[in-house]
């Protein structure tokens, strides 16, 4: 329970200073000489210095904020596909999914004062050049048509039409021409209830790719011919029929059709009952398909001669066929190359395959996110569907099995497609995991978290904190799943606490869960340890924090605050199981309250000895071990304290922030050091873990509709209320966290390195001299043939991968040539047999070289000496008993094959294996069989490296033969030959007679 507070300890800011702090004030440290300048003049000078020092902080985006509106485009051979992200076009490898190159145009777009692009250079259309499959044509909102050579990653031509481009198409029938849907200067003015909309009016143009004579050599050229085809509303599709005879555009509730042979006649309008959302042409027949906002798909059969008869002011209706399954708007359509099937996708995250001649359909459900684009790939006869999803990821679906084959994804954050975006005041989960050097970020689905590695720019895993059915909305009201609001990690990185909640509606009651996860170091994943239902009742949790510097597991505590007014601490409890194991889980340890105030935040001192809770206009400091109230800091200048954090590694100072106020307290002197008041709203301060400094972020609203929002970052030190440095960022932030100085980015330990999530759901890293490792393929790089990973076929399994290697880059022409250059030795010779069978050289050329490499050559005198001993041993017939010689302790000699034996083996190999001997051919001459029992260099006989023990006639006579011809003395006989009789004298005599018998 809280203890009584002494009045002398519960000091206010007015007691700490003689006068209220209406303006920023400096309180110099003890022993510092006062300057001779007037204090008011000195403030003006410092303010001017801080304003002059304001500069843009270095920052870099780690991901794309949302999915592109441009469908992916495959190269002609199907090895790569293009995806537009902002002003750039990324080239992905189909086999690996990696980005191999990025086409980025030169900075020609207009930028605002802060240096950020006004989204005027975003790529909105991309197609392959129909006359050159190695060129890519793109159109963007800045009015530029760019032609790229993607093999060399070079920009070939730039044409300016001075109008934002929304769609672009071309056909091989029209050489050096493209058709574009460009915005007109006027906006749509007719609307219901006299409410004007910002929808653009569009003009469809035919633009020549040949520049004018005056701009032929300029970097930005002007088209020599621009012909207007017609005017439409904001287009949702623009395409040319496969024959090149028809040009079709969809916009609003109409389909606009024009004959390409007579562009001056303009468009013929066909009315649709619903707003059209997408367009696709049949690959061989003269009709097209559209999708609308209600989920209907229509096949239009209006491309005939009746279009030539036009009635002014009359809009036509066409003969159509309707296909309906989708409950919401159809976002993309695509025909298969043979024209037998139509693919459709939308918000339901289900790919629908329609069989056109029967009307039957098949489904690929739960692809992970709403489908935005569909593209088809036909590579080596196997068809695949590439789905561009709303979370900026790609999924390949195999046509033969209708199952997901692989996926390509990075950070996926933007929830605007399937769910409502949370307000800017809603907490966004963001944390740093030190053990794996990863970032824990929110996912596109509100109930999940994702783990991202900044060093490799890879999305490692996705954690579903609150399991939910990812289904689309009912009617027009979106489903509200559970939303992860907070995530915090312990210092060791072994524990993580998450808070997820769902608001009540007419069908469900409110839910609040706190879940504590344990890191599995072996599996590298989070495992749910404890789930706590309603830790603060039905009220929201306002603060969660682990105790730092916990020496033992018993010292580790978790503190939470809620809108119910309670301050709770949680601890680990260990219980022995029946299997003599130990089970750990979290339980409530204590509950506190501070008057009737509602706590808003909780934090720990750097050493974990103090717990600070923000309650109303006060900050209560507790001893966590005894739950005793140590100190209360009252701040009348700040009506509602939003956060209170300890500054520096010692924790002597505490920075308290409100909506527009920042106060710094000295806990040792129990006094207010200074007070800073901002003219705009403030974010929570971020404290440096080592140095005595912190940053405060001011949200600067845009002064005009054209100007983008920005953030001013103020760096403070405890000794002065004047910012030591001022930086700016060209965006607003939802959540910010400090990154450790080591393990993530190569930065200065004395500076700041921060990671934040912007209001547009981009993940950015910013700070002092931030150096982010460059992602592979992030720059423009040429594409070579070797960059593509070939698909494995049956021929690779039969002949080996080396059979399909490029011989131009091979280090040697053939294995036979290598044998003539260098002898085969040891393992080098064995590597020759790793090649396919048809590439292995003839055995006659390999055998001698390989065997010489494996076997050592004996000197000539040793061979002669061995032959003499061998002959003497063969001629002697021992009739008497030969006592066994004593075993010597020298090193055992390995068996050495002489030249004569090797020549005999080669002759047998040539006669038997290479050349089949005729039936009339006499048998080969007898080859002396060496069974290892002879005594080279006076070494006692042994078999297979095992020396026989001494034997006597008595022991020999008692020994009995064993099965398979094995005898106790270690001499092995073939099973077909009987063992010698017991009357034989000794093993040596038996061995000698056996040798003479075998030699004849």
Looking at residue 909, what is its pLDDT?
Answer: 73
Whether residue 627 has pLDDT greater than 70 = yes
Angle subtended at Cα 415 by Cα 372 and Cα 434, rounded to the nearest 5 degrees: 120
Range 139-153 average pLDDT: 92
Picking from 480, 596, 497, 597, the residue whose alpha carbon sits closest to that of residue 544 is 497
Angle subtended at Cα 523 by Cα 92 and Cα 525, rounded to the nearest 5 degrees: 70
Tens of pLDDT, residues 733-759: 989 998 876 666 666 677 788 899 988
Looking at residue 982, what is its pLDDT?
Answer: 43
Q: Are 448 and 465 in contact (CB under 8 A)?
A: yes
Distance from C-alpha of 489 to C-alpha of 948, rounded to nearest angstrom: 70
Question: 113-122, 260-269, 520-529, 583-592: which range is least confident on average?
Answer: 113-122
Looking at residue 787, what is its pLDDT?
Answer: 44
Looking at residue 23, what is its pLDDT?
Answer: 37
Looking at residue 960, what is its pLDDT?
Answer: 43
Looking at residue 972, what is its pLDDT?
Answer: 42
Confidence of residue 563 (pLDDT cuts 50, 70, 90): very high
Range 312-337 average pLDDT: 85
Looking at residue 475, what is its pLDDT?
Answer: 64
Picking from 211, 207, 233, 228, the residue whose alpha carbon sits closest to that of residue 220 is 211
Looking at residue 86, what is its pLDDT?
Answer: 83
Residue 370 neighbours by CB under 8 Å, 6+ apart: 331, 345, 346, 347, 348, 349, 389, 390, 417, 418, 472
Tens of pLDDT, residues 178-223: 999 999 876 655 444 444 455 678 999 999 999 999 998 899 999 9
Provide the residue count of the chain. Answer: 1000
Distance from C-alpha of 455 to C-alpha of 464, rounded to nearest angstrom: 24
Question: 402-406, 593-597, 711-715, 982-986: which range is least confident on average?
Answer: 982-986
pTM, rounded to two decimals = 0.68
Tens of pLDDT, residues 771-785: 666 666 667 777 765
Range 796-807 average pLDDT: 58
Percent of the chain with pLDDT over 70: 66
Strand partners, 694: 687, 716
Whether residue 580 has pLDDT greater than 80 = no
Distance from C-alpha of 354 to C-alpha of 309, rounded to nearest angstrom: 34
Distance from C-alpha of 158 to C-alpha of 106, rounded to nearest angstrom: 10
Residue whose entry in the numeric block shows the structure tokens 């809009």 = 315
Looking at residue 277, what is its pLDDT?
Answer: 94
Structure token digits, residue 981:
């009789």
Residue 945 buriedness (CB in 10 A; 0-12 / 13-18 / 19+): exposed
Distance from C-alpha of 682 to C-alpha of 736, rounded to nearest angstrom: 13
**In a 3-state reduction of DSSP, which class is residue 993?**
helix
Range 228-242 average pLDDT: 93
Confidence of residue 809 (pLDDT cuts 50, 70, 90): very low
Range 18-22 average pLDDT: 36
Structure token digits, residue 581:
């194991």
- 349 φ/ψ sector (left φ>0, alpha ψ -120 to 50, else beta): left
Distance from C-alpha of 260 to C-alpha of 174, rounded to nearest angstrom: 10
Q: Are 802 and 835 in contact (CB under 8 A)?
A: yes
Confidence of residue 607 (pLDDT cuts 50, 70, 90): very high
Question: According to the per-residue pLDDT averaged within each range, which of 416-425, 697-706, 829-838, 929-938 is highest?
Answer: 697-706
Looking at residue 644, what is its pLDDT?
Answer: 94
Distance from C-alpha of 499 to C-alpha of 532, rounded to nearest angstrom: 10
Structure token digits, residue 977:
């030959």
Q: Are 965 and 979 in contact (CB under 8 A)?
A: yes
Q: Are 722 and 730 in contact (CB under 8 A)?
A: no
Looking at residue 489, what is its pLDDT?
Answer: 95
Tens of pLDDT, residues 80-102: 999 998 889 999 999 888 888 99
Residue 155 buriedness (CB in 10 A; 0-12 / 13-18 / 19+): middle
**Backbone angles phi and psi of 193, in degrees to 5:** 60, 25
Q: What is the mean pLDDT of the chain?
A: 76
Distance from C-alpha of 675 to C-alpha of 79, rounded to nearest angstrom: 62
Strands (E), 325-455: 330-335, 341-346, 351-355, 361-364, 371-379, 382-389, 394-398, 403-408, 431-433, 438-442, 448-453
Picking from 636, 671, 656, the residue whose alpha carbon sits closest to that of residue 716 is 656
Range 75-82 average pLDDT: 91
Residue 977 buriedness (CB in 10 A; 0-12 / 13-18 / 19+): exposed
Range 666-680 average pLDDT: 91
Whether residue 56 has pLDDT greater than 90 = no
Range 357-386 average pLDDT: 88
Distance from C-alpha of 969 to C-alpha of 884, rounded to nearest angstrom: 12
């Amino acid at each position: 329970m809280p203890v009584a507070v002494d009045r002398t300890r519960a000091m206010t800011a007015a007691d700490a200073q003689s006068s209220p702090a209406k303006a920023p004030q400096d309180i110099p440290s003890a022993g510092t000489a006062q300057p001779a300048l007037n204090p008011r003049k000195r403030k003006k000078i410092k303010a001017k210095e801080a304003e002059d020092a304001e500069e843009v902080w270095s920052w870099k985006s780690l991901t794309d904020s949302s999915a592109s509106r441009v469908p992916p485009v495959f190269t002609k051979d199907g090895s790569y596909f293009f995806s537009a992200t902002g002003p750039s076009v990324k080239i992905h490898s189909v086999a690996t999914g990696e980005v191999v190159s990025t086409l980025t145009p030169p900075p020609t777009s207009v930028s605002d004062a802060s240096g950020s692009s006004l989204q005027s250079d975003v790529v909105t259309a991309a197609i392959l050049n129909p006359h050159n499959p190695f060129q890519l044509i793109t159109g963007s909102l800045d009015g530029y048509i760019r032609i790229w050579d993607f093999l060399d990653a070079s920009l070939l031509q730039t044409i300016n039409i001075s109008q934002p481009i929304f769609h672009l198409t071309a056909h091989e029938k029209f050489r050096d021409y493209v058709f574009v849907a460009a915005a007109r200067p006027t906006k749509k003015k007719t609307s219901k209830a006299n409410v004007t909309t910002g929808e653009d009016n569009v003009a469809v143009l035919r633009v020549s790719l040949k520049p004018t004579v005056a701009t032929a050599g300029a970097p930005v050229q002007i088209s020599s011919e621009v012909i207007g085809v017609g005017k439409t509303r904001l287009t949702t599709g623009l395409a040319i029929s496969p024959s090149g005879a028809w040009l079709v555009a969809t916009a609003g509730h109409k389909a606009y059709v024009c004959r390409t042979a007579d562009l001056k006649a303009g468009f013929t309008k066909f009315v649709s009952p619903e707003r059209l959302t997408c367009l696709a042409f049949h690959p061989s027949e003269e009709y097209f398909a559209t999708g609308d906002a209600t989920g209907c798909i229509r096949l239009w059969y209006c491309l005939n001669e009746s279009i030539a008869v036009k009635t002014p002011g009359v809009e036509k209706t066409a003969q159509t066929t309707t296909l309906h399954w989708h409950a919401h708007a159809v976002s993309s359509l695509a025909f298969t190359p043979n024209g037998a099937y139509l693919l459709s996708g939308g918000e339901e995250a289900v790919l629908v395959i329609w069989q056109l001649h029967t009307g039957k359909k098949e489904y690929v459900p739960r692809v992970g996110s709403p489908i935005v684009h569909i593209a088809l790939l036909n590579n080596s006869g196997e068809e695949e569907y590439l789905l561009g999803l709303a979370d900026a990821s790609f999924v390949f679906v195999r046509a033969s099995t209708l199952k997901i084959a692989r996926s390509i994804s990075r950070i996926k954050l933007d929830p605007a497609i399937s769910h409502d975006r949370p307000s800017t005041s809603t907490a966004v989960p963001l944390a740093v995991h030190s053990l794996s050097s990863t970032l824990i970020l929110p996912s596109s689905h509100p109930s999940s978290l994702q783990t991202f590695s900044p060093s490799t720019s890879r999305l490692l895993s996705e954690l579903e904190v609150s399991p939910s059915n990812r289904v689309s909305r009912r009617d027009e009201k979106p489903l509200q799943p559970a939303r992860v609001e907070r995530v915090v990690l312990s210092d060791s990185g072994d524990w993580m606490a998450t808070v997820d909640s769902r608001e009540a509606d007419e069908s469900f009651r409110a839910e609040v869960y706190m879940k504590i996860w344990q890191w599995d170091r072996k599996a590298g994943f989070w495992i749910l340890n404890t789930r706590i239902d309603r830790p603060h009742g039905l009220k929201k949790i306002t603060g969660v924090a682990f105790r730092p510097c916990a020496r033992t597991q018993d010292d580790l505590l978790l503190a939470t605050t809620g809108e119910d007014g309670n301050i709770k601490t949680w601890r680990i409890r260990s219980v022995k199981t029946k299997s003599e194991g130990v089970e750990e889980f979290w339980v409530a340890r204590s509950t506190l309250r501070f008057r009737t105030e509602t706590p808003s935040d909780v934090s720990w001192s750097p050493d974990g000895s103090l717990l600070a809770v923000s309650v109303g206009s006060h900050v209560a400091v507790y001893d966590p071990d005894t739950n005793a109230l140590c100190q209360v800091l009252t701040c009348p200048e700040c009506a509602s304290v939003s956060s209170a954090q300890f500054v520096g590694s010692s924790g002597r100072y505490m920075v308290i922030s409100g909506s527009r106020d920042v106060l710094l307290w000295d806990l040792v002197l129990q006094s207010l050091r200074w007070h800073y008041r901002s003219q705009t709203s403030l974010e929570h301060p971020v404290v440096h873990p080592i140095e005595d400094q912190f940053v405060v972020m001011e949200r600067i609203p845009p002064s005009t509709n054209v100007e983008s929002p920005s953030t001013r970052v103020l760096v403070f030190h405890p000794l002065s209320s004047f910012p030591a440095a001022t930086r700016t960022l060209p965006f607003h932030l939802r959540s910010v966290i400090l990154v450790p100085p080591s393990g993530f980015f190569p930065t200065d330990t004395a500076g700041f390195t921060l990671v934040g999530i912007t209001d547009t759901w981009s993940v950015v890293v910013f700070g002092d001299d931030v150096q982010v490792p460059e992602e592979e393929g992030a720059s423009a790089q040429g594409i070579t043939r070797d960059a593509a990973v070939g698909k494995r076929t049956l021929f690779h399994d039969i002949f080996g991968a080396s059979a399909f290697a490029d011989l131009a880059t091979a280090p040697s022409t053939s294995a036979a040539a290598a044998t003539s250059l260098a002898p085969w030795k040891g393992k080098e010779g064995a590597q020759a047999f790793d090649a396919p069978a048809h590439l292995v050289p003839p055995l006659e050329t390999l055998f001698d070289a390989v065997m010489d490499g494996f076997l050592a050559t004996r000197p000539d005198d040793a061979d002669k000496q061995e032959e003499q001993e061998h002959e003497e041993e063969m001629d002697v017939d021992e009739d008497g008993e030969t006592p066994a010689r004593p075993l010597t302790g020298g090193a055992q000699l390995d068996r050495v094959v002489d030249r004569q034996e090797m020549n005999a083996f080669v002759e047998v190999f040539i006669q038997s294996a290479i050349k089949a001997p005729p039936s009339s051919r006499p048998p080969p001459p007898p080859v002396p069989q060496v069974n290892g029992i002879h005594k080279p260099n006076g070494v006692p006989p042994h078999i297979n490296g095992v020396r026989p023990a001494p034997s006597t006639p008595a022991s020999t006579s008692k020994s009995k033969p064993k099965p398979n011809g094995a005898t106790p003395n270690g001499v092995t006989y073939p099973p077909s030959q009987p063992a010698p009789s017991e009357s034989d004298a000794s093993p040596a005599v038996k061995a000698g007679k056996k040798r003479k018998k075998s030699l004849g």
